[in-house]
Amino acid sequence: MPISTNKAFVKDRARCLMSINEALAVVCPAVSVKQAIGVYLFQNTLTTLGTERHQHIIEELWNQQALSALALTEVAHGSDAKNMRTTATYDQETEEFVINTPDFQAAKCWVGNLGKTCTMVLLFAQLYTGGQCFGLHAFVVPVRDPKTLLPYPGLIIGDIGEKIGLNGIDNGFVMFQNYRIPRQNLLNRVADVTKDGDYESSFTEPGKLLGAALENLSAGRVGIMQEGSNNLINAVTIAVRYAALRTQFGSDNGPEVPIIEYQLHQWRLFPYVSAAAVLKIFTTSLTDDYLNAVEMSNTDTAIDNLREMISEIHAIISATKPLITWTCLHAIQECREACGGHGYLKAARFGDLRSTVDPCVSYEGDNNVLLQQTSNWLLRQWSSVINHNTTHSPLKTCSFLTNCNEILSKRFAGSSVRHVKTVAFVTQTYEWLITYLLKNTHQKQSELLTTQCKFTARNNSQVYKAAPLSKAYGEYVALKYYWNHINEHVEADLRSILGTLGLLYGLSCLDKHLVYLLQGNYGNGSLVNYIQDAILELCNEMKKCAVSVTDALAPPDFVINSVLGKADGKLYENLRNELFRGDTCVPEILASKL
Ligand SMILES: Cc1cc2nc3c(=O)[nH]c(=O)nc-3n(C[C@H](O)[C@H](O)[C@H](O)COP(=O)(O)OP(=O)(O)OC[C@H]3O[C@@H](n4cnc5c(N)ncnc54)[C@H](O)[C@@H]3O)c2cc1C
């Protein structure tokens, strides 16, 4: 296992750890989460926010002498990290930080691994020195004796109890009472406190420091996106295999029809199959860009646009972590229903998948809150376009905005379904939609700002404006990466089916935004008809290859682990074996009465 902290290996190490975590997550999610927060996240944070004086802890983690946890959330504050109330006050006499939890509402909670097992936590607390508060900072805090796993005096630690799922993780809470740690336990790469209690930071604004600290969570979000796209593949594989084998009804005295033949069933499942292909390829490509940015930020030479690139990647992840986790969660429910009653069997796997994916929409950044970070970034790009006719988009995910006037003047001019079944149509329509929603969001906020403060104006321009804007941007970016990948890396004979999948995904997503296309006069009722007809045509085209597509995406049976989704096609034989594995004997007491 690579533990080197050499800067040259940052990208390779991160990729290696991500791959291990990704593989583990589809087989045993709780173990993967335990390892991710117990080792990887901590190591990542120590490498990026800590300095040489913290590197020995990484050795301890890899030598299994320590297990860590990340303690950010408090009972009364989660998304609103700035208002967290745990304090770390510098004591110049002893050269220590004294940690305190003012009351129960400030107890750190939901902390994975803390309930029973971790020996140290990465604690986020408000740093005080010389009577002044310098905002949230990260500290390494030993909490348990590694030999006995008993908590140290000065701590109240507990397990938060049974959860809806992921009970393999011991999520815990902790309260600190004048708990002392050495000054050196502050992660001091960007800010430090000297022996004499002077605060020194390379950031002038405390908000930026918090941003740098929390930016480390991006790795976790990318991990969630990888897990989400894999779980989406698992769900659609089970439902498509089942749909191909399950028959219900038939015309008059004709043979029974496999449910995959029903248009309604195709329309329920195939857009999720296409989402699985698009989002898997997107996540893999984005991970490359993310790791390149991580590597660049770890080199000593100045790199043009690096800060802008990191901001853009943050905006992309803030839109697409919600996109993937919500798509996955909704797909699991649809796939469960698509397998009827048998889908409700535990052995069908949908229950486990659902309870694993469910918290992903809340942790590592609540989805609705993350979307606001994307729209804030897009609004900054809009200001830049208005004032300087430029964008800060090195990855070119919104560089089209510099043509905003031309884009907004465009109207759909097609006259048949054929005209919407093209990559150009989907791309141009998304560019119009994003520009339209961005302009509207900016306008709405400007109007509100005449009577409301910035905070209120932002809050009152989310629904129908900023939130759909971020969602549309996330879908557009995912498709952009997908099509780039197909054009650059895929052999010609595969392009046809991948093209169909991309179009079906794009049009199915646009289907949900039709109201804005009509509202902004981009098209009329005919456009709606063309998009709907195109989706049905593409579903019909996909019918003949849906099983092959899911076979190509699917992991081995032991990973999918579903009685309904085995690759051998022996649905009823497998189901019979599963049912007969249970207690099938008639109890003696009943047998005598039969
Ligand atoms: C299984 C699991 C494991 C976890 N592990 C950890 C861990 O290891 N360490 C850790 O520190 N934390 C952990 N958490 C906590 C997690 O990070 C938080 O739940 C998450 O950050 C959201 O915060 P919250 O629960 O306080 O929700 P809140 O921030 O209170 O949000 C509640 C609701 O209000 C909405 N909302 C909030 N602000 C706004 C706004 N401005 N506008 C509109 N709507 C808004 C949100 O969208 C959300 O729906 C874990 C949580 C779970 C479920």
Q: Ligand 1 pocket: which of 37, 44, 67, 79 to mutate (most atoms <8 Å of CB)?
A: 79
**Helix ranges restricted to H, 50-88:** 55-62
Tokens linked to 176: 């600190």
pLDDT digits (tens, 9 = 90+) for 64-93: 899 999 999 999 999 999 999 999 999 999
For 120-145, the DSSP string reads EEEEEEEEEETTEEEEEEEEEEE-B-
Res. 39: pLDDT tops 90: no
**Residue 199's beta-bridge partner residues?**
193
Average pLDDT over residues 305-310: 87
**Residue 357's beta-bridge partner residues?**
none
In whole angstroms, what is the distance from residue 102 CA to residue 84 CA?
11
CA 591 vs CA 579, 580, 583, 584, 586: distances in Å: 20, 18, 14, 12, 6
78 CA → ligand 1 middle, Å? 5
Confidence of residue 303 (pLDDT cuts 50, 70, 90): confident
Eight-state DSSP code of residue 400? G
Res. 378: pLDDT tops 60: yes
73 CA → ligand 1 middle, Å? 8
Average pLDDT over residues 116-134: 97
Tokens linked to 483: 């099509």
Check the CA dihedral 369-370-373-379 and report its sign.
negative
Tokens linked to 551: 């076979």
- Residue 588, pLDDT score: 67
In whole angstroms, what is the distance from residue 328 CA to residue 353 CA?
9
Res. 231: pLDDT tops 70: yes
Confidence of residue 295 (pLDDT cuts 50, 70, 90): confident
H/E element, 528: helix 525-543
Residues within the annotated binding site? Answer: 73, 112
- Residue whose CA is at the smallest distance from ligand 1 atom 25: 78
363 CA → ligand 1 middle, Å? 6
Pairing of strands 172-176, 179-182: unpaired
Looking at ligand 1, which atom is closest to the CA of residue 367? 47
471 CA → ligand 1 middle, Å? 19
Res. 353: pLDDT tops 80: yes
In whole angstroms, what is the distance from residue 490 CA to residue 499 CA?
11
- Residue 4, pLDDT score: 53
H/E element, 91: strand 87-91
Of 72, 74, 50, give the one whose Cα is nearest residue 61: 50
Residues 6+ away with beta carbon under 8 Å from 407: 400, 428, 431, 432, 435
Return the residue matching tokens 């961005």. 438
- Ligand 1, CB within 6 Å, residue ranges: 37, 70-73, 78-79, 110-112, 166, 171, 359, 362-363, 366, 368-369
Res. 585: pLDDT tops 90: no
Give this complex's ipTM: 0.99
CA 390 vs CA 309, 396, 403, 446: distances in Å: 15, 11, 10, 20
What's the whole-number average pLDDT of the chain?
A: 93
Cβ atoms of 282 and 320 closer than 8 Å:
yes
Q: How many CB atoms lie within 10 A of CB 202?
A: 11
Cβ atoms of 165 and 158 closer than 8 Å:
no
Comparing 3-7, 26-30, 233-237, the range with the smallest average pLDDT is: 3-7
Residues within the annotated binding site for FAD? Answer: 73, 112
Residue type at position 534: A
Res. 555: pLDDT tops 90: yes
- Residue whose CA is at the smallest distance from ligand 1 atom 26: 78
Tokens linked to 54: 């913290």
Classify each residue of 347-373 as buried b or exposed e, where b means 16 or more C-beta atoms within 10 Å of its C-beta. bbbbbbbbbbbbbbbebbbebeebbbb
Looking at ligand 1, which atom is closest to the CA of residue 108? 11
Comparing 149-163, 177-191, 429-443, 577-591, the range with the smallest average pLDDT is: 577-591
All domains of the chain in start order, with CATH: 7-192+208-214 (2.40.110.10), 217-553 (1.20.140.10)
- Residue 40, pLDDT score: 84
Return the residue matching tokens 């509207």. 440
pLDDT digits (tens, 9 = 90+) for 199-218: 998 765 555 555 555 556 68
Average pLDDT over residues 175-198: 96
Confidence of residue 2 (pLDDT cuts 50, 70, 90): very low
Cβ atoms of 324 and 275 closer than 8 Å:
no
Comparing 1-10, 170-179, 214-223, the range with the smallest average pLDDT is: 1-10
Average pLDDT over residues 477-503: 96
**Residues forming the active site:** 364
Q: Ligand 1 pocket: which of 139, 173, 368 to mutate (most atoms <8 Å of CB)?
A: 368
Looking at ligand 1, which atom is closest to the CA of residue 368? 47
Cβ atoms of 109 and 73 closer than 8 Å:
yes
Res. 591: pLDDT tops 80: no
42 CA → ligand 1 middle, Å? 20
Res. 457: pLDDT tops 80: yes
* CA atoms within 13 Å, Cβ hemisphere of 386: 11
Tokens linked to 419: 């005209």
**Residue 246's beta-bridge partner residues?**
none
Res. 6: pLDDT tops 90: no
